[in-house]
Amino acid sequence: MKLDLVVRNARVATASDVFECDIGIADGRIAALARQLDGATTIDAAGRWVLPGGVDSHCHLDQPMTNGSRMADDFRSGTLSAACGGTTTVIPFACQMKGQSLRAAVDDYHRRAEGKALIDYAFHLIVTDPTPAVLREELPQLIAEGYTSFKIYMTYDDLKLNDRQILEVLAVARRERAMTMIHAENADCIAWLTEQLVAAGQTAPRFHAAARPMLIEREATHRAIALAELVDLPVLIVHVSGREAVEQIRWAQGRGLKVFGETCPQYVFLSDEDLDAPGFEGAKCICSPPPRDKANQDVIWHGLENGVFQVFSSDHAPFHYEGPHGKRIAGNDAGFHEVPNGIPGLETRLPLLLSEGVLQERIDINAFVALTATNAAKIYGLYPRKGTIAVGSDADLVIWDTDREVTITNSMLHHDVDYTPYEGRVVNAWPRLTLSRGEVVWSNPSPQGAPGRGQFLKATRR
């Protein structure tokens, strides 16, 4: 067999196994896993971890906003940042605006990605306006064309669905065997609390957490699970922040319901103390649900260890700290309720979890691979092309350095955001080399590969 490239002396981990071998690559795919392979070129992994490239199944790129704010990353900078952080597949969102057809939204996002993406991408849909045409025609057609997952929101005026609308969308997902992600927070409770906080002049960034206490996430998580049970449909609860939502998911899983859970770096590496940073600095960590306290960080860690969570994604939602289109869109000391929600994290997701999760022995390397690549690829219909190291899979591989300290600073990152919430944090893992379909896209410290080489991936149904 003629191999284009051999990665020699790899210490491979998949979601289930660890083994040492050479990885032979031909035509962008893994063609052989064996010893003593010969190829046209070779890369020596020298016994380092070689893991499947990350699948970041929850990130927002170039998503138009309705309040005048602007996302800092488009598909060029976002996918570059992902690749440099060891991620080789992203699944951002194609978000329908109310009044817009879903098809128009999908076409728009393809235009945003084409010519820019460095790595491969699929799309989740965000359904905000489930008209009869959307439910009967557009969704079934788009699912058949490879957009097999969608997110629905229970909060945000411009995005949210009511319970009846949620049921109707879930019914389509069941019939068409699509996967549904749910943002579970109770909109009316947030609005009521926000009104009171603002009236009392309590508008500093830390009050963002007071407007979204955990019980409103718990209530919505329970309701989302109940609605899915009524329709008899698996669902995935996104960006779970702490104990009360975890308890709902564990309860549902214990009853035999197919409820998947996703959490994100901000719920183990950030806390309410970060929201309480001096002045307006806390706005850098405003995201929803908000980071909770240290006790809740432990609960999320346990959920990563004990299988409550299947997916660890970034929820990269990038806004500048400075400038008129980001966190300060409503002024230099805007109220928390006027600050765009979201934080960057595409590039730091994997180093943080490998360092603090695996090297600190909270989770094993197989769990790391499952949480960051394999499970998302399976849940969202990209497996086994993506998310594992196996003969026939795309040669999306990352060689990891795990024996040196790296101090995270925003200047070393490749996103277009002017800050990282993880500034100054020390990790012991960083990608040394990232391969996407057998091509080098990151060789520390240099990004490589042309924007636009990333391919759109059609996802299969459940």
- Sole binder of ligand DUC in the list 169, 317, 365, 377 (CB under 6 A): 317
Scan residues 179-198 and list those touching ligand DUC (CB under 6 A): 183
Which residue number, 29 or 183, has a Cβ lying nearer to Zn ion?
A: 183
**List 288, 297, 348, 420, residue binding ligand DUC (CB under 6 A):** 288
Q: Which is nearer to ligand DUC, 337 or 432 (CB)?
A: 337
Q: Where are the alpha helices (DSSP H) in 160-242?
A: 163-176, 187-199, 207-211, 214-231
Q: Are 85 and 348 in contact (CB under 8 A)?
A: yes
Cβ(247)–Cβ(238) below 8 Å:
no
197-256 positions binding ligand DUC, by CB under 6 A: 238-239
Q: Which is nearer to Zn ion, 217 or 315 (CB)?
A: 315
- Judged by CB, which is closer to ligand DUC: 288, or 355? 288
Cβ closest to ligand DUC, residue 10 vs residue 264:
264
User: Scanning residues 390 to 419, which ones bind ligand DUC (CB under 6 A)?
Assistant: none
Judging by beta carbons within 10 Å of its beta carbon (0-12, 13-18, 19+), is residue 450 exposed, middle or buried?
Answer: exposed
The item of Zn ion, ligand DUC, none sharing an interface with residue 90, based on CB under 5 to 8 Å by kind, is: none
Angle in degrees, CA 442, 357, 288, rounded to 5: 85
- 29 binds ligand DUC per the rule CB under 6 A: no
315 binds ligand DUC (CB under 6 A): yes
User: Which residues contact Zn ion by CB under 5 A?
Assistant: 183, 315
Residue 445: is the preceding peptide bond cis (ω within 30°)? yes
Q: Which of 232, 229, 237 is nearest to 151 (CA)?
A: 237
261 lies in the binding site for ligand DUC (CB under 6 A) = no
Smallest gap from residue 443 Cβ to ligand DUC (A) = 31
Residue 205, contacted partner among Zn ion, ligand DUC, none, CB below 5-8 A by kind: none
Torsion angles phi and psi, residue 218, rounded to 5: -60, -45
Binding mask 52-91 for ligand DUC (x = CB under 6 A): --------x-------------------------------
Here the tokens at position 369 are: 């691979």
Q: Answer with the entry of ligand DUC, Zn ion, none that 341 interacts with (C-beta below 5 to 8 A by kind).
A: ligand DUC
- Residue-by-residue DSSP string for 117-157: -SSEE--EEE-S---HHIIIIIHHHHHHTT--EEEEESS-T
Give min distance, CB of 137 to Zn ion, in A. 26
Q: Angle formed by the axes of helices 187-199 and 214-231, to 10°?
A: 160
Number of helices and strands in the chain (H, E):
15, 21
Binding site for ligand DUC (CB under 6 A): 60, 183, 238-239, 287-288, 315, 317, 341-342
